[in-house]
Amino acid sequence: VPISRPLVKLSKVTLRAATSTSLDGHVVQIDDVIGGVVGVLNDSFEGSYTAMDAMVTPASNLKFGDYQCNAAMKLAKPLKMKPRDVASILVEQLKEKMAGDFEELEIAGPGFINMKLQRSYLERAVQTMASDNDRLGIPKSSDPKRVVVDFSSPNIAKEMHVGHLRSTIIGDTLANLLEFKGHSVLRLNHVGDWGTQFGMLVEHLKDEFPAALSGESVDLGNLVVLYKAAKKRFDEDDDFKVRAREGVVRLQSGDEESLAAWRCLCEASRKEYDKIYKLLSIKGLEERGESFYNDMLKDVVEDLEGQGLARESEGAMAVFLDGYANKDGSPLPLLVKKSDGGFNYATTDLAAIRQRAQVEKADRVLYVTDSGQAQHFKMVFEAAKLAGLREDGVSLEHVPFGLVQGEDGKKFATRSGDTVKLMDLLQESIRIASNDVGGREVEGWEDGQELPEEFKRTAEIVGISAVKYADLSMNRESNYKFSYGRMLSLQGNTAPYMLYARARICSIVKKASGIEGVEEGGMTWPEPAPVVLGEEAEIELARQLVKFGDILYDVEKELYPNRLCDYLFETSQKFSAFYESCSVIKAETEELKASRLTLAVTTAKVLTKGLGLLGIEVVDRL
């Protein structure tokens, strides 16, 4: 098939000239080229090309080259061509467009294309990465979006639990990464600060802390105890139950005293979770709880009713969607209004979708919660679509995660069976890290002893990073067993190992270059030198380094931070292999020494940047 027409623009895929040192990730560039070819081969090609773009993947085995592409097989049918014919056209185009990047492209088996990066490309690319402190040569997305990341989202007057911790850690990482890729990110904390439970809480405050009603700031003591006491009264005292029910109505209709008591509760909770955010270095998270959408709820329900989507069901209002059933086969309703007139969790989410799409102009909204809420979000997204609460282009994505379990695989709890307090959990990790750091760094150190100031911060970073990294390095959809021993180990894919590996590379650079200074902030890196790749281990390391952009692109799309962790771990292993077989300080020539130093510097920068995106601060010594 002769290609005579100019390459055309396809839905969502814009063709860009692939410059040979652009590190946007080859997956993107190859995709672009293929997209163009498809458009040329068949104008009427149906189906979204981007929906299939998992067709290019970094090769599972470097033997087959750096990338593998199965586009020819997938496209053969819709193009009504033979896979190998499609493959050879793709190869022609890839050669033309990406001539500087790849060696001979090989068609294997039924039509796979194996692609191997050229050595000269690797040499140029590593040098580009080393010369760019901020971005390591990785350009911002050519298609920047407005992204809302809804994460953390604890509930007022209730304990923030490990599920909220996972949401906070994963959500923060995704937001960091999307921001780095040039998207405009809005981090929202969808705090549970509204709803029926506030009736009983506010009424209880009226009796126990009357000062809270006048807007004074009052110390409410332990909020969990307070919540339990209010709940006990609600369950046992019928008069109080009536009061609580009326209390919700008063609060929701804007009664000043009730609002003051409610604010007092929110303030007290906020103080608690802000401590956690501070320890975790969570920044830029805007609190926009359920109450924010209160005024919009009535409208949403009327809209749903008006469109015939919501109807009455046992006194309440509900949306019935096709394909959702209870265990007994009866239709499963999505409740939007209770029989007492109150609104539901789903109503708020529907209103939030409208607000985020229409006012915030979001193109993409991510919801980071446990998988237990999968059905809720599926139903809410579907209802929002039917009701036209968002435009078709807006992508609503639930980012689910599994449970945190105890080391025995059972429920994660303290020895006495109580739920684990987040603050205690984080402090325990820091305590163990202090012992580790103390034992290594301080002469005559004894368990539990106060650490000298200079090591205190290190211990805090190690303790917090260990918790974060343990979470992020697991496929988020699986459950994982919480183990201080494993997460704080210096061996394996852990934060202490990664921090150590990075610090070691920095000290190698320092020693070999004779340049003194601190790595972060003040490190003067040696000038990036021309890279010459000769030894196998050097080439392998370079091939790994230039994939950084691909990995970020993958996480940006698929939202699995563990893939970044795996990549960083492999990178540090490739570095070790390189360092074992190639002498840096005693390299045969000055040029070779400078080249190897550049490889080391690039590795250190990749690790620093990667860990930074994971919300992990690095340390200079460990």
Interface residues with ligand ARG (CB under 6 A) are: 150, 153, 155, 190, 192, 349, 352, 367, 369
Whether residue 519 contacts residue 604, with contact meaning beta carbons closer than 8 Å, is answered with yes
- What does the alpha-carbon distance between residue 364 and residue 373 come to, in Å, rounded to a whole number? 19
Whether residue 472 contacts residue 169, with contact meaning beta carbons closer than 8 Å, is answered with yes
* 615, amino acid identity: G
Q: Is 281 left (phi over 0), alpha (psi -120 to 50) or beta?
A: left
CB 192, min distance to ligand ARG, A: 4
CB 163, min distance to ligand ARG, A: 7
Per-residue tokens: 106: 């090989």
Whether residue 487 contacts residue 466, with contact meaning beta carbons closer than 8 Å, is answered with yes
Element (H, E) at 342: none
CB 396, min distance to ligand ARG, A: 10
Q: Cβ closer to ligand ARG: 35 or 192?
A: 192
Q: Cβ closer to ligand ARG: 33 or 366?
A: 366
Could you give the C-alpha distances from 571 to 57, 397, 484, in angstroms and in order?
18, 30, 24
CB 476, min distance to ligand ARG, A: 15
Strand pairing class (285-287; 112-115) = unpaired
Could you give the C-alpha distances from 344 to 333, 341, 349, 398, in angstroms and in order?
12, 10, 9, 19
Cβ-in-10-Å burial (0-12, 13-18, 19+) of 276 comes to buried
- What does the alpha-carbon distance between residue 607 and residue 346 come to, in Å, rounded to a whole number? 41
Cβ-in-10-Å burial (0-12, 13-18, 19+) of 171 comes to buried
Whether residue 269 contacts residue 164, with contact meaning beta carbons closer than 8 Å, is answered with no
Cβ partners under 8 Å of residue 606, min gap 6 = 129, 136, 545, 548, 568, 571
Q: Cβ closer to ligand ARG: 399 or 533?
A: 399
Q: Cβ closer to ligand ARG: 190 or 510?
A: 190
CB 160, min distance to ligand ARG, A: 9
- What does the alpha-carbon distance between residue 512 and residue 507 come to, in Å, rounded to a whole number? 8
Per-residue tokens: 321: 């969607």
Q: Cβ closer to ligand ARG: 349 or 519?
A: 349
Q: Cβ closer to ligand ARG: 399 or 426?
A: 399
Element (H, E) at 602: helix 590-613
CB 342, min distance to ligand ARG, A: 17
Side-by-side strand order, sheet with 395-401: 285-287, 184-189, 146-150, 364-370, 395-401
Q: Cβ closer to ligand ARG: 269 or 603?
A: 269
CB 380, min distance to ligand ARG, A: 8
Q: Cβ closer to ligand ARG: 68 or 153?
A: 153
Residue 73, classed as helix, strand or coil, is helix
Which residues face 398 on adjacent strands? 367
Whether residue 147 contacts residue 366, with contact meaning beta carbons closer than 8 Å, is answered with yes
Per-residue tokens: 460: 């805090």
Q: Cβ closer to ligand ARG: 341 or 372?
A: 372
Per-residue tokens: 96: 């033309």
- What does the alpha-carbon distance between residue 522 and residue 508 come to, in Å, rounded to a whole number? 17
Q: Closest Cα partner for 54 from 36, 67, 41, 37? A: 67
Residue 117 sits at the vertex; the CA angle it makes with 114 and 118, to the nearest 5 degrees, is 130
Q: Cβ closer to ligand ARG: 32 or 349?
A: 349
Q: Where are the alpha helices (DSSP H) in 118-218?
A: 119-131, 162-180, 197-208
CB 349, min distance to ligand ARG, A: 5
Cβ partners under 8 Å of residue 441, min gap 6 = 455, 621
Whether residue 62 contacts residue 546, with contact meaning beta carbons closer than 8 Å, is answered with no
